[in-house]
Each structure stands twice: as C-alpha cells, then as structure tokens.
Structure 1
Amino acid sequence: MPTRPIHAMELEDLPGIRHGFYTRTGGVSTGIYRGLNCGPGSNDDASAVELNRTRVAISMNVAPENLMSLYQIHSASAIPVTEPWTDNARPQADGMATATPGIALGILTADCAPILFADPKAQVIGAAHAGWRGAVAGVAEATLDQMEKLGAKRADIIAVVGPAISQENYEVGADLRTDVLAESEGNARFFDASDRPDHWRFDLEAYVLHRLKMAGVGTMAGLSECTYADDDRFFSYRRTTHRGEADYGRQISCIALS
C-alpha cells in the first residue's frame, strides 16, 4: 500500500514547496509499530524504520539521506539546516528552518503537534515539534526567528498545525494548566473541565494556533486530526500508555524546497 500523506490546502500548490503530514499508511513495520513508523528512537526494527523513511523521502522527492529529523527534547530550541546529518548525529532541538533546496525537514510525533511553515516568496521553510512544554516555552517563535534569519517575513509565512491529540482526549493535571495560565489568564479558554477533580482537557491545537497568531504569522490553520482517536492512521503515545503497550511508533510530517 502506498504512503498517503495528508496535504493541507494552505500549503498546496506553493511554488517550489512540497509537504506532507504522513500517517501510518504505507509502511513495513509490524506489531505495535504497524505501518509507517519513522521514529529511529523507537524500539522497532531499525531496518524497517529505515525503509519507512526511505519511502517518505521518495514521496517527498528528496534523497533518503536528505530527510532530516531531530533528537526532539520538548524544548524551545530551533536550528538552521544547511546540510544533511546522520540519524545517530541528530541535533537536540525541536524546530528547524532551511533555505536549501533538496532537504526535507521532518518532525516526528505521536500526540504532540507538528507545525510546518513556508514563506513562498522568500523560499524559506520551517518545521517544529510542539508538545505543550515546547509550545509554552516558545518553539514556534524560535522557528520563526530562524526563518527570518534566512530571509523570511512573518507576514508572508503560512503555518499549518498537523495531526495531534484532540482536546476531547487530552486530559491534563494542574501542573500543565498552571504553566499555561502563568503566561496569561486568558489562556483559560483552552481548558475544559474534566470529570476528575483537578484535571482539565487541553486544546493543544488551538493553543498553538494562538501562539502563531500572536507571533505575527500571516496565515495559519489546523488540520483538527486527532492522533489518539484514530488507531488506523496515527500513532499515539497516550493511547499506548492507556493500553499498557511497551512502546509506540512515530508519524512524520515533512516539508521541502524542490
């Protein structure tokens, strides 16, 4: 079965730019990693992960060694990308930007929000991994900073938030809510009450879109695809935890300059 990424209307048909929010469809991994597991940090068979990533690279029309992903650490760190690195030399960061054709920026997720960025005028792209910690710390803004250093303008940037855990399935504790509200009491609108005392349901996608708007991004959108609820198409860390499974796969979201 071929890989079937989700394409965002806002990023489609941009000159010189390709993108895809890839699902589990079209991979060779088996068992709990069934499908297109692209996470080298998982305990999946390394050859299966390599083949899955090669299929994504072919789909993105880049050389397999030019499909870049990071050692993601839930930070606000973002870096420029000018040349490929090997999987075992992945930089520790959660955002990246490039103006170099032929390099695909890949973000690995399993409930956190992937963000793909493009300035079609400047031909600068970016990608970020936004879990709640990274989103609060400013990973989107750090990625925008790196894009600006390469010539992008925030008013010309298009940003799309890809598949992530939905508010309905994202119950959080007081620590998360406290950190989000410390930024602004107005952020209370991103929380709904849960059935359990001192727990709430957090709208990660809406919060990330809010951060993008406040940062001055010209165009932004969210796919509103829930990773937790759709076992056939997405990996989910939280679903794996609730099932008591030993590990989980990661889907990849990519953007590249032709």
Structure 2
Amino acid sequence: MVELVKAQLLRAVPHGFAGRRGGVSTGLYAGLNVGLGSDDDRAAILRNRDLARDAVLPGAQLVTVRQVHSARAEIVTAPFAEDERPEADALVTDRPGLLLGILTADCVPVLFADVEAGVVGAAHAGWKGAIGGVTDATLAAMERIGAARDRIMAAIGPCIGRASYEVTEDFALRFEAVDGENGRFFSAGRPGHLQFDIGGYVAARLAAAGVGRVEMLDEDTYAQPDRFFSYRRSCHRGEAGYGRQMSMIGVPG
C-alpha cells in the first residue's frame, strides 16, 4: 500500500507526498520509485507512477515536467505527451481531472492551493531553484489563473533536514550575498562546514512572498531510508543510482 504523508492545511484538496513504501521496484530502487531518469526497470517505474496517482486521485491524468533546477513554472491546461514535457520545476492548474506531480530525492517539494479559486500548484525546490525563486514563480503563475496570494496555502513536504545537509562555508555565502538575513538558516557544523535548513529557507521565502499559511511537515528524507529515497544518502553509500518520490496535488472535483 502506498504511504502518503498529508498536510492538514490541504485536507480539502486531493494531495499527498509519497515516499518509497508501496511500490513494485526491487533492489536498489526497492519501493515506489517514480523516476524515469533512473536505471530502474521502466515497466516498474510506470506501474509505480500509476500506483502513486491512484493513491491520491484515481483516474486522474498525471502531469509532470522535465525538472532542471530552474525557477520556471508552467501553467497546465492539458496533459503533456511524455516526449513533449517542458523543462520547468513547477506546475499550476485550475483544471479538474489533472494531477500535478513533482519528483524529489532530498530537494524540497511544495504543494499549493487556493481552494476558493480552485487553483493548485506544485514546485520542486532544490537549492538552485529555491534561491532562484521557483516558489515565487509558482505563486505568480497561480495568480495569472485566478488565485489570490493571501488565500494560497502551502505545504512543505519531506526533504533533507538540517542535521543531514552539510554544506561548505562558501555555499552559505551565496545565500548571504542575496540577503544577509539568510545566515539564520545555517548552523555550525564540523570545521569549514555548516548545516543548512533548506526547508526553513523555503518556508521563509513563502512567508515573505505573502502566502496566507505555510505548513512544514518536518520529515528528513536522508535520515529515513525505509520511507524515503535520498540522493545524498545514496552518494554517501556509494550506490550506483537512486530512486525518486513524487508529491502530487489536484483540483477538487
């Protein structure tokens, strides 16, 4: 059975942050690996994507993009053919019957909803997308199809936690160069290194952008190998590949 982590804020909207439990992949990718870019068996990946979709909104048409760590948000009015998926890192829609999906393996998944307007969104925020403004782009795209920023609710799903995300001091300087207040998202680590709270950073970006309410689910992907895939954990273990999990949201019918 697919395990879904859900947000209280989004309880009126079909949504879910899927992990790795409940899929058909085996071996290195055991569980619900939905990453078409992985070396997993393609038939298993497609089956996992169907299982994930049906756990949230059975019969919906799943829509994903080619994620490139950008700040681009795509307004979706109809499903894309697999070989015609645009390069973007966020999707928004007001069309019932579509289920927006973004893939992560430590990066920050964010799901958005303006229930009154019937507009939803999903964003993939790695550090490049986060600092580049992918969440701001998502909000702007939602507004273009009728959402109001102060009504939008956002939920931050499972991602790498501060305790697991070691970065260099030079890395932190990139964020502090943008805004000196960003230093608060970095805490002391071993010599020459810091621990980065990327989820907290994304939450602060959302609040500063005027989002009505933000919920953090506080699930560390790196620290829970039985529940979530993690790119960094796979690298530390010297594994040949890594799985991806999917976060999904749809317009209420």
Shorter-chain TM-score: what band?
A: over 0.9
SS in 2 for 1:20: strand
Corresponding residue to 1:250 among 214, 220, 244 = 244
| Contact 1:116–1:160 under 8 Å retained in 2 | yes
Aligned residue in 1 for 2:73: 78
Could you say what secondary structure the match of 1:145 adopts?
helix
Does the CA contact (< 8 Å) of 1:111 and 1:165 recur in 2? yes
Matched, 1:201 2:219: no
Instruction: Please list every run of 5 or more consecutive structure 1 residues that lacks an aligned counterpart in the other structure.
Output: none
Kindly state the Cα deviation for residue 99 of structure 1 after the two structures are TM-superposed. Answer: 0.3
Q: CA deviation at 1:56?
A: 1.4
Task: Indicate whether 1:23 and 2:19 are aligned.
Answer: yes
Which of 114, 135, 153 is the aligned partner of 1:158? 153
- 1:76-108 alpha-carbon deviations (Å, 9 max, x no partner): 111100000123322110011000001011010
Give me the whole-angstrom Cα distance separating, in 2, the residues matched to 1:10 and 1:120. Answer: 11
Per-residue CA deviations over 1:48-101 (Å, capped at 9, x if unaligned) read 00000111122222436x111111111111110000012332211001100000
Cα distance in 2 for partners of 1:121, 1:128 equals 20
Q: Which residue of structure 2 aligns with residue 226 of structure 1?
A: 220
Distance, in Å, in 2 between the alignment partners of 1:138 and 1:214 is: 12
Equivalent position amino acid for 2:10 in 1: L
| Residues 162 and 225, structure 1, Cα contact 8 Å, conserved in 2 | yes
Q: What's the secondary structure of 1:163's corresponding residue?
A: coil
| Structure-to-structure mapping, 1:26-65, within 5 angstroms | 26-63=22-59
- Give the whole-Å Cα distance in 1 for the aligned partners of 2:171 and 2:234: 21
Equivalent-residue separation in structure 2 for 1:46 and 1:63 (angstroms): 21
CA contact (8 A) 1:132 1:204 kept: yes
User: 1:154 Cα shift?
Assistant: 0.6
Letter in 2 for 1:203: D
Q: Give the structure 2 partner of residue 11 of structure 1.
A: 10
Q: How many Å separate the matches in 1 of 2:84 and 2:28?
A: 26
- Check if 1:177 corresponds to 2:172: yes
Displacement of 1:242: 0.2
Q: Which amino acid aligns with 1:63?
A: G
Q: Aligned ranges for residues 95-106 of structure 1 at < 5 Å?
A: 95-106=90-101
Q: How far off is 1:151 after superposition?
A: 0.3
Stretches of structure 2 that go unaligned for 5 or more consecutive residues are none
Does the aligned pair in 2 maintain the 1:40–1:87 contact within 8 Å?
A: no
Segments ≥4 residues shifted beyond 3 Å: none
Q: What RMSD over aligned residues (CA atoms) do the two structures have, in Å?
A: 1.0
Residues 89-143 of structure 1 deviation map (CA, whole Å, 9 limit, x = unaligned) = 2211001100000101101000000000000010000000001110000000000
* Structure 1 residue 179: Cα displacement: 1.5
Amino acid at match of 1:138: G
Q: When the two structures are superposed, what TM-score results if normalisation uses the length of structure 2?
A: 0.97
| Residue identity opposite 2:48 in structure 1 | N
